[in-house]
Chain A
Amino acid sequence: MQQGVCITVNGTQRRVREQLMLADLLAELGLSVRGVAVERNRKLVRAQDLASTEVLEGDELELVTLVGGG
């Protein structure tokens, strides 16, 4: 049996360890909480909830930032 949980991040599947919080995931991906917003299963996760929201099997995450645009 495989360890960890399988999730989708920005359209790509990944396996991450269990009991990982969203804030930990951002840190492991080298992202700062500032400048990034997170959607979990199509629902916005507020910045103050990132540290207490656990990444669960099958989660679909969108990690977005701001880029140039008109």
Chain B
Amino acid sequence: MPGDQPRAHESDQPLLVGGVSLRSRLLVGTGKYASFEQTREALEISGSECVTVAVRRVNLDAKAGPSLLDFIDRKRFHILPNTAGCFDAASAVRTAELARAILDTPLVKLEVLGDPRTLLPDPVGTLEATRELVAQGFQVLVYCSDDPRLCARLEQAGAASVMPAGSPIGSGQGILNPNALRIILELVRVPVIVDAGVGTASDVALAMELGAHGVLLNTAIAGAREPLRMAAAMRDACHAGRMAFLAGRIPRLLYANASSPLEGQIAADLGRAP
């Protein structure tokens, strides 16, 4: 956990992605919270060091109030602007440029979506925009579908990270295709961050147990009945899943494998194995 010195048996490497070093492998969004105060508290509790934000038109009718950026300590959090809501490569590239102008960061979470109902990524537009943004010097963390070959192509195009969806954005369906994720993890060398679809803590733990390098989520915390408690649950699940991955799970066996010695049992007439 950030700040703590983990003991040897809990030691881990930081996640290196897009030129930044993250001690927490949980990346969290800042959308859908009840207030900026709640956002700040949830981010803090989650232990994350990287948070996403969106780019939107300034509301010219509203009186200028506090801004989200007033509630994110940039000494503590890396800010990862997204291109959410873009349905073509050109809009995503424009949005990324605007975000970079505000934040002075090369990081961008690229989203090029196919349609507003499914919010599924458009693979062709995503690849096109990745190439353009890489050429412009961005560190591109690419939200994409969980297609292993697409992830390989995105890596070839220079993506800093591929971020396959576990399931549709905000759906809470969890990791629908763990096998695809396993293949992606074998095919690509850049960090693989599971992005979207997380519903609860076990989804995060599963992704991390499979070897994902990180998990990005938003709605699962912000939409929970108690967002702050869920932020803590996600922090712990991410840590637990990562530790389990590093520790190495035992093989799945069809039959039992006794934990207690089979020798030295007292004599018995009943209960003897047939």
User: Which residues of A are interface residues toward B (Cβ below 8 A)?
Assistant: 9-12, 29-31, 35-39, 42, 44, 46-47, 62-70
- A10 to B29, Cβ gap below 8 A? no
Q: Is B9 an interface residue when CB atoms closer than 8 A count as contact? A: no
- B219 to A39, Cβ gap below 8 A? no
Contact among B30, B69, B97, B196 for A69, CB-based, below 8 A: B30
CB distance from A63 to the nearest CB of B (A): 5
Which of A10, A29, A69, A70: most chain B CB closer than 10 A? A70
Q: Is B98 an interface residue when CB atoms closer than 8 A count as contact? A: yes
A interface footprint on B55-96 (CB within 8 Å = 1, 0 otherwise): 111101001100111000000000101101000000000100
- A9 to B69, Cβ gap below 8 A? no
12 A-B residue pairings within 8 Å (CB atoms):
A10-B58, A36-B102, A46-B101, A64-B56, A65-B57, A67-B54, A68-B30, A70-B31, A70-B52, A70-B82, A70-B170, A70-B216
A interface footprint on B164-175 (CB within 8 Å = 1, 0 otherwise): 000001100000
Contact among B30, B32, B58, B103 for A31, CB-based, below 8 A: B58
- A70 to B57, Cβ gap below 8 A? no
CB distance from A23 to the nearest CB of B (A): 14
Q: Roughly how many angstroms separate A4 CA and B169 CA in the complex, as a whole number? A: 46
Q: Is B218 an interface residue when CB atoms closer than 8 A count as contact? A: yes
* Given A35-B69, A46-B101, A65-B102, residue A70 in contact with residue B169 (CB < 8 A): yes
By DSSP majority rule, is chain B's interface helix, strand, loop, or mixed? mixed
* Given A44-B97, A47-B101, residue A68 in contact with residue B68 (CB < 8 A): yes
* Given A10-B58, A36-B58, A37-B102, residue A66 in contact with residue B64 (CB < 8 A): no
- A66 to B54, Cβ gap below 8 A? yes
User: A10: which B residues are within 8 A, CB to CB?
Assistant: 57-58, 60
Q: Roughly how many angstroms separate A1 CA and B105 CA in the complex, as a whole number? A: 46
Q: Roughly how many angstroms separate A64 CA and B69 CA in the complex, as a whole number? A: 13
User: Which residues of B are interface residues toward A (Cβ below 8 A)?
Assistant: 29-33, 39, 52-58, 60, 63-64, 67-69, 79, 81-82, 84, 94, 97-99, 101-103, 169-170, 196, 216-219
* Given A67-B54, A68-B39, A69-B82, residue A44 in contact with residue B30 (CB < 8 A): no
- A39 to B68, Cβ gap below 8 A? no
Which of A42, A62, A63, A66: most chain B CB closer than 10 A? A66
Contact among B68, B79, B98 for A64, CB-based, below 8 A: B98
Q: Roughly how many angstroms separate A44 CA and B63 CA in the complex, as a whole number? A: 25
User: A38: which B residues are within 8 A, CB to CB?
Assistant: 101
In the A-B complex, list the 4 residue pairs whose CB atoms are closest, starting with the nearest: A69-B54, A70-B29, A70-B218, A68-B30
- A66 to B101, Cβ gap below 8 A? no
CB distance from B196 to the nearest CB of A (A): 8
* Given A30-B64, A69-B30, A69-B31, residue A35 in contact with residue B102 (CB < 8 A): yes
Q: Roughly how many angstroms separate A64 CA and B103 CA in the complex, as a whole number? A: 12
- A68 to B60, Cβ gap below 8 A? no
- B82 to A37, Cβ gap below 8 A? no
